[in-house]
Structure 1
């Protein structure tokens, strides 16, 4: 029986989880691969920190590049994180030396994926990254291998468990964003600085990679329209329920006549859509292919167990000798797709306005919408005492982003409109 000698750079939640999983399922892995997976070297910033795994007998490195260069290491697991710095340098070093790499680093791949894929192919080794997107959900293998015979029409995904937990809890309890965010931080679902999660950056990194796999282009994080969930209010979630929708932070990639559309923002989806049932910290990805129609993948998108499961799955592939292009097609064939401008997006919209309750308000708003070729599909208008602030909620028929944003800019200038209009796109799934 052969042996695959592993070096793990990064001993945080995922690194320790990977060590624990390899040890716990050693016999099962040997049965399935015909090889022993043995962690022989580790690297982390703090040697003195107490960790929930036994590191006895493993070589310790302070420099992850030195770990990658260790001749006793066959494969490098990069679990440091970050798009630049030690993580990127370590992966480049391992690939330069002809060693396969397993990584969970979506930020690094979203910014440098095409370069690293080219280095891996030049070295004739595998760069595996199942753990970088949606934790324990095998969405990378599904897109790259299981659905390889399909022309992909669209990918939609709930790709961040923190944001999904916050939106789910707001809907279930009626509480506001700040209150639920504080609870998520207390429970460990959100970081002390939650910006990457609630502002959509984490999910957008993952969307860039899914779009690359689905459409054969190089990852283009800079081409994604990104909005987070800070502006979603409890009142919007309540109105969404009344209208038959739920609000999800959704990433979407699809090919349009204008080019590749990539957008990550809050969406209203019909309550009976399968992805509307993905709640709490769970992730969900719907892939639409010409021959399979829609396939839903759902599961835990983060945490020691799910992410370690994906890391070890990649190690199993390497132990078996599995070789596939890093991004689904050879690096030299990765396309530079034209990028569809967000202004060209076509869809329906939810709009909430806070206005002074007086006669003629709705007529003024309707006139602006008419002038910008936006038609109303549904309207909720509740009056209180004359002169008081009151919400007006409407949904539109399909129109373009350019028309809607121009109409809202004009509506915001009306004297009776008391605050910036709130807009949430409606996604038909």
Structure 2
């Protein structure tokens, strides 16, 4: 079995140690000969990388580990680039959340104006990573889960249509793991799902076990009472804002009871009460900075100082295990069924063929084969058309440097009540994103 060289682009992410640990824990299924980290923030990456160096030395000393800020060194001799950029870091995420909230509009990092702002920052750097990969390792695959995945996916479709990039998101996986625990199954892999939508904007239409027995009704019964809230302490999202989103699935199911919803639909369909319950001074970004950021960096400094990682980063998160499943499917032609963000091209028959949709695909050594989802109902189709228009306008605004199109994109978002409010938010976001966005005319 061929051993793989993996580059984690965005090595300064708090998820990096978990990905490294998961790679090492899965060496039998996905052998690795080399792990590299790349980031443009040398100081931030170094703290995490020094801990990762200890993790690798303890758990798989035969694996070559390195980290760098030099693109040529990073991208040379790699088979997979796992991209997890956060352009502007959490300081800019805080702006993405707090500026819309100032105008009583949902403040969320991937939805509404905040997601559009983040998308405008992310497009250029993702394209830069693709170009580095194609220059130094043209046969590599980029597995991208940098947010906002929908806008990034549309940008790569427009700007690098022939690149070997696959866009993914771990949120449906996280919810499927919750469903599996509710059903007392070993893992989500004991289920087979049908799902369609856009990233952070989708619905499950069928969930069955390996024998084809329906599981939807049992899950719906749980969701109708508690949403996706559970008693089990596992999972990566346990802050109060996330628990609120999990509970909101109960109301989302009432709106559309024939399917099971992605929790992010809360920001579009329950926008007023989301804003009403929001703390405008202390948002999700603040929660993450005060908890996960502090915990991960404190732990990594401790590992580097003590020279041992025992007891830390032992458990894989949904985030890291999913991306390794995808890499394994591509490397060894496993034909695994996975949710990916891909160009529609008729998979959803009555929807824009150029839309980047999130649907099940069969993954093998030549890439992915999307499954046909058929026609979708008027309710979902209408919501998706409005949302995909906002995403496409955002990418057009970035390409053309168009103020008008970005104003239209924010106006188009279901989270925004009027074009007047959209303009007020946009003007504030332009001010906050100086140096990150292209100049708009």
- TM-score bracket, normalised by the shorter chain, equals 0.3 to 0.5
User: Based on CA coordinates, which of the two structures has the bigger radius of gyration?
Assistant: 1
Greater strand share, structure number: 1
Greater share of helix residues, 1 or 2? 2
TM-score, normalised relative to structure 1: 0.38
Query: Normalised by the size of structure 2, how large is the TM-score?
Result: 0.37
